[in-house]
Copies of this chain bind each other. A is one copy, B any other.
């Protein structure tokens, strides 16, 4: 492995000069810099990251916690999110450290990663309404970016989509088609995004004077099986749902199966709008009928989260690093007018 010393010997200059030449300092002659760069290129020099990390005290690495039991939404979403982070980081020479954790040792894992100087910043997801991780990170002063939001007085950097609007827009679109019984297949109640979506959903209802019926909401992790079960429940109520809002493509698939199993046709007997985080292996436009969705790219969110982390480390104030993305609605074929109720 070729190191600074080798380059220095080769070029008859000091190690310092080589280092400063490569790092773009102004007190090195342009001719020398050119010679150094050429030699570095020729010999395939790459700085030893660990030496650099030790002396600078910066790990040049961003951490991301990853649950070992893939329980929550995480599952497929995280792959896309990760790719987005990867895109952003590879442009800026930062590394990504995955921090695996199980059940309840997440904060313990954070401590370990922080104390051993492995990371400069952290990206945290799967955010709860009241999330102890946020308090902890604040307390120890580790820079962090939240994917989502939480209830706290403390300032923090985040990237989130407007989940209130997801619930609101979806509900409004269905209400305008005459639907009055709209089932909400939502995420776990303790998660902020699920709370926000319900808030939007309820606002749409109340603006139109329609009472909220708790029997028409389901809180569970977003999985195929839950979408199926909850939809079956919604469709067999005394006053069954005529429309559904699905929290993700995963439970939308289950919902579609439940609709079919009941002998109903989506877009005719039952309408549906799903939220799509964009998986490449499951496209709403290729469903039959094509699924109307609210859309936001998980990958883009990962990309942005990483960018925010880097800007944070570059000293940009937290206030500039709080972003909420509007979601767009893609109207397709799964929404139709409410059927006449007997």
Contact = CB atoms under 8 A, between A and B. Distances in A.
Interface of A: 1, 44, 46-51, 53-54, 59, 66-71, 74-80, 82-83, 85-87, 89-90, 95-98, 100-102, 109, 111-112, 115-118, 222-225, 228, 250, 253-254, 257, 260-261, 279-283, 286-288, 299
A98 to B, nearest CB: 5
Contact of A82 (B66, B95, B282): B66
- Counted per complex, copies of this chain come to 2
A126 to B, nearest CB: 13
Nearest to A77: B79
Contact of A280 (B48, B70, B115, B118): B70
Contacts of A75: 76, 79-80, 279-281
A90 B106 CA distance: 12
B59 A83 contact: no
Contact of A90 (B101, B224, B250): B101
Contact of A98 (B54, B96, B257, B286): B96
A223 B66 CA distance: 25
B89 A96 contact: no
Contacts of A54: 48, 50-51, 53-54
Contacts of A228: 286
Given A1-B117, A117-B1, A257-B288, A68 B83 contact: yes
Given A46-B116, A225-B283, 9 more contacts: A50-B50, A50-B53, A66-B86, A68-B86, A70-B80, A79-B79, A86-B98, A95-B97, A222-B281
A301 to B, nearest CB: 15
A97 B97 contact: yes
Contact of A281 (B49, B85, B223, B260): B223
A83 B70 contact: yes
A112 B45 CA distance: 10
Contacts of A48: 54, 116-117
Nearest to A67: B83
A49 B98 contact: no
Given A76-B79, A89-B100, A115 B1 contact: yes
B116 A279 contact: no
A198 B47 CA distance: 46
B286 A49 contact: no
Contacts of A102: 87, 90
Given A51-B54, A253-B282, A257-B287, A79 B68 contact: no
Contacts of A286: 224-225, 228, 254
A40 B71 CA distance: 34
A68 B84 CA distance: 7
A118 B52 CA distance: 11
A115 B79 contact: no
B281 A44 contact: no
Nearest to A105: B90
B282 A224 contact: yes
A259 to B, nearest CB: 11
Given A50-B59, A95-B97, A115-B46, A79 B83 contact: no
A222 B100 CA distance: 28
Nearest to A222: B281
